């Protein structure tokens, strides 16, 4: 039975992800696989390539044929050079920088905050009493000037308010009994 190491496509239309699989050469691209030996995600930055080197070496040693895209991936990881017996077997895969561990950062900030509160509890700051200063009352001349301005503004803005129309009340009359 002819065995190939090929890519099995997964993902959405514009978000492809591939699994590196060992499958019978007669199966469809996304058909049944004998074994999954790796992952390739080209849309990540840098692209994610994880391949189990031991399993690749085993399958290549028993006669499995790698497709061209898989050979390109194996050359990046250095597994193809190991299989061929070449000297340069260093991996050329770019590794993404580690993301910050937000949980650890939060825990560190929490410990610092708790330590600061405990320190404050041990050494309380003396309370400063607020001394109320009497506010200066406006002078009588200023008050009269402000009142004059308000009255002048009120005279300018005289608005005619319509008188509400009242309907005459209905006079209740007694009806004669028949």
Average pLDDT for runs of 10 along the chain of length 178: 89 92 87 89 86 90 91 88 78 72 88 87 73 65 74 65 62 70
Distances (CA, A) of 176 to 99, 171, 172: 98, 15, 13
Instruction: Answer whether residue 45 is part of any domain.
Output: yes
Q: Is the peptide bond before 46 cis (omega within 30 degrees of 0)?
A: yes
Look at residue 137 in the predicted model and tell me its pLDDT: 62
Number of domains in the chain: 1
In a domain, 54, yes or no: yes
Q: What CATH number is given to the structural domain containing 25?
A: 3.30.1320.10
Let me know if residue 150 belongs to a domain. no
pLDDT value of position 167: 66
- Measured over the CA atoms of residue 20, residue 26, residue 30 and residue 35, the dihedral's sign is negative
Instruction: Report pLDDT for 83.
Output: 83
Per-residue pLDDT at 157: 60
Per-residue pLDDT, 162: 60
Question: Parallel, antiparallel, or unpaired: how do β-strands 3-11 and 65-66 relate?
Answer: parallel
In a domain, 21, yes or no: yes
Q: Give pLDDT, residue 70.
A: 92
pLDDT 10s digits, 31-42 = 888 999 999 988
7 in a domain, yes or no? yes
Residue 80 included in any domain: yes
Q: Note the pLDDT of residue 121.
A: 82
* Confidence (pLDDT) at 15: 92
- The answer to whether residue 98 sits within a structural domain is no
In this prediction, residue 44 carries a pLDDT of 83
- The DSSP string of 2-16 is -EEEEEEEEE-SS-E
What residues make up the domain containing 60? 3-84
Res 156: pLDDT: 66
- In this predicted structure, what is the pLDDT of residue 165? 63
């Amino acid at each position: 039975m002819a065995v190939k190491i090929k890519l099995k496509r997964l993902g959405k239309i514009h978000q492809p992800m591939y699994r590196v699989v060992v499958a019978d050469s007669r199966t469809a691209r996304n058909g049944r696989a004998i074994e999954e030996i790796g992952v390739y995600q080209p849309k990540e930055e840098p692209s994610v390539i994880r391949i189990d080197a031991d399993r690749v070496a085993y399958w290549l040693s028993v006669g499995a044929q790698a497709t061209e895209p898989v050979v390109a991936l194996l050359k990046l990881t250095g597994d193809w050079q190991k299989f061929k017996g070449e000297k340069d077997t260093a991996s050329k895969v770019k590794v993404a920088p580690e993301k910050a561990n937000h949980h650890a950062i939060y825990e560190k900030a929490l410990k610092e905050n708790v330590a600061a509160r405990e320190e404050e509890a041990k050494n309380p700051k003396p309370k400063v009493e607020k001394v109320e200063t009497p506010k200066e009352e406006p002078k009588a001349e200023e008050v009269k000037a402000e009142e004059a301005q308000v009255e002048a503004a009120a005279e300018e803005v005289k608005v005619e308010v319509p008188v509400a129309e009242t309907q005459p009340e209905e006079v209740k009359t007694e009806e004669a009994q028949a």
